[in-house]
Amino acid sequence: MLLLDTHAFIWICEGDVRRVGPRARGLVRKAAARDALRVSAVSLFEVVALHVAGRLRLNHPVEGWLDEALSVAGIRTTEVAREIAVDAGFIAREALADPVDRIVAATARHLDATLLTADEAVLVYARSTRGVRVQDLRR
């Protein structure tokens, strides 16, 4: 299973091949073919919040963009279950300052998924703890 970090979800759905490396594109294709491509519900929150704050420009209303992105790319949403929320709460703020990053990392661990991200803090956390499998989105 492949879990997309929020920016990975956006860049892949927007077709931004400049930011998504060839290995990552191959992993996405394979995961989509196996119905094993996921995004956390908290990432949907983050997309909407970024859009509302003016930090993310989309070519049409955010609700329609989300519907289209999920259906066209064959990405399924993963809910934030109790176990994920508790696990995320135990991740030290010093390790991952962003609460959304903690939830996404805990989701990958809970699903036993590889997390596709370009976020250096998440990559460093995953490598240092070895508790989360990651793949650098840029590669």
The pLDDT tens digits for 26-58 are: 999 999 999 999 999 999 999 999 999 999 998
**Count: domains in the chain:** 1
pTM for this one? 0.95
- The residue segments making up the domain with residue 87 are 2-136
What CA–CA distance (Å, rounded) separates 139 from 58? 25
Provide the mean pLDDT of the chain: 95
- Please give the DSSP secondary-structure letter assigned to residue 5: P
What CA–CA distance (Å, rounded) separates 123 from 92? 15
Could you tell me the CATH number of the domain that includes residue 54? 3.40.50.1010
Assign 130 a pLDDT band (cuts: 50, 70, 90).
confident
Among 84, 76, 81, CA closest to 1: 76
pLDDT at 73: 75
